[in-house]
Amino acid sequence: MDLNFTADDLAFQGEARAFIAAHYPPALRARQERGEELGKEDYLSWHRVLAKQGWVAPGWPVEYGGPGWTATQRYIWSEELARADTVPILPFGINMVAPVIYTFGTAEQKARFLPRILSGDDWWCQGYSEPGAGSDLASLRTRAVRDGDHYVVNGQKTWTTLAQHADWGFFLVRTDTTGKPQEGISFLLIDMNTPGITVRPIITLGGEHEVNEVWLEDVRVPVDQRVHEENKGWTCAKFLLAHERTGIAGVARSKRGVERIKAIARTETDGDRPLIADPFFRRKLAELEVDLTALEFTELRTLAGEAAGKGPGPESSLLKIKGTEIQQRITELALEAVGHYGAPYFRGFGEGDNAQAIGPDYARRAAPTYFNMRKTSIYGGSNEIQRNIIAKMVLGL
Question: Using the rule CB under 8 A, is 321 a contact of another protein?
Answer: no
Kindly state the helix (H) or strand (E) to which residue 216 belongs, with its residue range. strand 209-222
**Size of residue set near another protein by CB under 8 A:** 53
Contact 304, 1 (CB under 8 A): no
**Cβ atoms 252, 79 nearer than 8 A:** yes
Q: Does 361 bind another protein (CB under 8 A)?
A: no
In whole angstroms, give the CA distance from residue 83 to residue 80: 5
Shortest distance (Å) from residue 328 CB to another protein: 8
Which one from 79, 80, 130, 244 is the annotated catalytic residue? 244
CB of 137 to another protein, least distance (A): 9
Under DSSP, the state recorded for 395 is S
Cβ atoms of 95 and 247 closer than 8 Å: yes
Of 1-9, 41-49, 288-296, 338-346: span binding another protein (CB under 8 A): 338-346
Q: Could you tell me if 156 and 142 are in contact, meaning their C-beta atoms sit under 8 angstroms apart?
A: yes
Shortest Cβ 186–another protein spacing (Å): 22
Tell me which of 53, 106, 135, 293 binds another protein, using CB under 8 A.
135
Is residue 238 involved in binding another protein (CB under 8 A)?
no
287 binds another protein (CB under 8 A): no
Distance CA 171, CA 128 (A): 6
Check binding of 382 to another protein (CB under 8 A). Answer: yes
Quick one: 65 or 342, whose CB is closer to another protein?
Answer: 342
Q: Which of residues 199-218 bind another protein (CB under 8 A)?
A: 202-205, 207, 211
Element (H or E) spanning 157, and its range? strand 150-157
| Residue (169 or 342) nearer to another protein, CB | 342
Among residues 154, 371, 380, 390, which is the contact residue for another protein, using CB under 8 A? 371
Nearest-approach distance from CB 251 to another protein, in angstroms: 22
- CB contact at 8 A, 153 and 189: no
Distances from the Cα of 118 to the Cα of 68, 85, 303, angstroms:
15, 22, 24
Nearer of residues 218 and 384 to another protein, judged by Cβ: 384
As measured in angstroms, the least distance from the Cβ of 232 to another protein is 22
Asked if residue 255 lies in contact with residue 292, where contact means CB atoms within 8 angstroms, the answer is: yes
If the CB atoms of residues 117 and 140 are measured against another protein, the closer one turns out to be 140
- Cα angle for residues 250, 133, 230 (degrees, 5° grid): 95
Residues 6+ apart with CB under 8 A from 161: 92, 125, 126, 210, 211, 212
Q: How far apart are CB 359 and another protein at their closest, in Å?
A: 7
Q: Does 340 bind another protein (CB under 8 A)?
A: yes
- Spatial distance between the Cα atoms of 376 and 161, rounded to a whole number of angstroms: 13
At its nearest, how many Å lie between another protein and the CB of residue 336? 6
Q: Does 339 sit near another protein (CB under 8 A)?
A: yes
Let me know how long the chain is: 397
343 touches another protein by CB under 8 A: yes
- 3-class DSSP assignment, residue 261: helix
Any contact of residue 375 with another protein (CB under 8 A)?
Answer: yes
Contact segment (CB under 8 A) with another protein among 18-26, 62-70, 102-110, 129-137 equals: 129-137
| Catalytic residue list contains 244 | yes
For the segment 253-282, give every residue that binds another protein (CB under 8 A).
268-272, 275, 278, 280-281
Quick check: 328 and 376 in contact, CB under 8 A?
yes
Beta strands in 80-149 (DSSP E): 124-127, 143-147
214, 160 in Cβ contact below 8 A?
yes
Active site residues: 244
Q: Which residues lie near another protein (CB under 8 A)?
A: 129, 132, 134-136, 139, 158-159, 202-205, 207, 211, 268-272, 275, 278, 280-281, 332, 335-336, 339-346, 349, 354-355, 357-359, 367-368, 370-371, 374-375, 377-379, 382-384, 387
